[in-house]
A and B are shown apart, each in its own frame.
Chain A
Amino acid sequence: MEPDLGELAIETRELRKQYGRIVALTGLTMTVRRGEVFGFLGPNGAGKTTAVKLLLGLSRPTSGRGQVLGAPLGGVATRQRIGYLPELFRYQGWMTAREVLALHCELARLPRPSWPAEVAEALELVGLADRSNDRVETFSKGMQQRLGLGVALLGKPELVVLDEPTSALDPVGRQDVRGIIGELRSRGVTVFLNSHLLTEVERVCDRVAIVDRGGVVAELAMTDLVAEGGIRIRVTGPVDAKVIAGRFGPTRQDGEWLVVASIADAQVPALVAELVAAGGAVHAVVPEHRTLEDRFLALLGAAPAQVAAPAQVAAPVGGSADPGTLP
């Protein structure tokens, strides 16, 4: 079922981008609905930033086509309705934060009377109000990224594209960004979020696309991910628990735990009853919440060290962040 074009914020078909002999995107096909917070995930060099540059018309595709906010890629006028925080963010160091924001109001062709309010609101939102008259070159990296976020939010854009918006931010800043994204979602703004911070994406996104080597390897809604869970169960006693559990779903041993993947919630009591009937002692049943990280790693078939820094990925309770338990 194809959503009609008016509902789509972004639609691309077989977008390909080649830099000389390097193919950055092999054929990107994806859709982002209006009002959605869309996560774009992938390992380093997967082509995320390249895709964003194509969407914004900062770079021209080698082949393929796409639309953003109903207009073909590369249109100059469309950019008036898009806010963008580049991965490599940098603003005029000799200007104050306030002046940079005013400059972008002007570049975005916002009506002049609205500038002071827009600037003040952006400063407030990103927490730079008390440094607004300092030159940007005196800012820390994180403060500059906050400024960039403020710039991206000027003029109530319909689409906000954030390329790793928290790369320089402290934990409080990251939380602020999550708050801002939530706020954008409640206003019906479409957000396109590039990231490899999986927990972050997990918390804010409605849908994600996972890209690898220049193409989408999976597109999934966050709700699917949660439903894909299973359980882990600890059983002792004279039973072959693995055989019994195997009738309910794919099963594997993990230390003294038995992991039963994709067992329906309603089936769990039946499984426990059978185990007990067979003489087993059931010590614990824990729902296994499947994390985006599991999915990510499974899809990319990579060891964790090669992908996003595992240190940044907090394992939720019951999750399996332990490399030894990867599916």
Chain B
Amino acid sequence: MIGFLIQRVLQALMVVIAMSIIVFLGVYAIGNPIDVMIDPASDQALREALIQRYGFDRPLFEQYFIFMNNMLHGDLGESFIYRLPVLNLILSRLPATLELALTAMLIATCLGIPLGLWAGYKPDSLSAKAIMGFSVLGFSVPSFWVGLLLIMVFAVELGWLPSGGRGPTTEVLGMNLSITSLEGWSYILLPAFNLALFKLGLLIRLTRAGTVEVMSSDYVRFARAQGLSEGKVVSLHVLKNISIPIVTVFGLELGSTLAFAVVTETVFNWPGMGKLIIDSITVLDRPVMVAYLILVVFLFVMINLVVDLIYGQLDPRIRVKAAS
């Protein structure tokens, strides 16, 4: 188990390093940040001074090593625009995105698994077909369009919920959260549902496929031959077996939701990380982009690591392979 852990952590480290190079090169290739930082009318001397100060005159690999060295010391640079440490900037936006993403995952899980179970348990029923139809909509209709539709119906027409923004926040464990109040929930509901839709569709299909497979297995037939009730068959055999693919998707989707809630955050004017990165790209705020992308990579790698560890817990066969 320890060996397995070390191996996975080393792998994760390699991924982070490789990605940091790719991100650094990729971002370096786009535009000259000096042009956006200073007034086009300013003179050549100021220009030179700034280039020197940020080290843009040095060779690329040197810039990379300086960047990496700083990063290891917790310094991801300073935003060209906000003139603030990038890390603080991003972390100040993290709680908003975190609560949005987690609420979306919660909605997707609480609806998706029961619906998928039902659709897989009675695959020929009319309700199952309706559920599957809905799941196709879930991941084929563009997210921004659904977002606008939700605003139109629930905010504009019915006036039940606010059309955008984030509710009042209170500080919990050093994070500013809005889901602590009822008013906060009224703000988060629409964007969270919007963000959940794709995952909901995915979870329904995944749960259904797993359920169909398990229900037709020999061990379910054997369980029925033992006189287990249908409820017990589902709660014991089906849930345990489908938990493996669900944890995978949950992990992957949590990462991508945190990183790329961009569209929803833009449509609902949600002050999260997604909005920050979009704004930074528009103004070529290079340190923010680089730091953000590396943070995202780190996030993905960490989530994958946790998912792998949970796997071992869920599937004894994986544990054996890892041990040998």
B is a partner of A: no
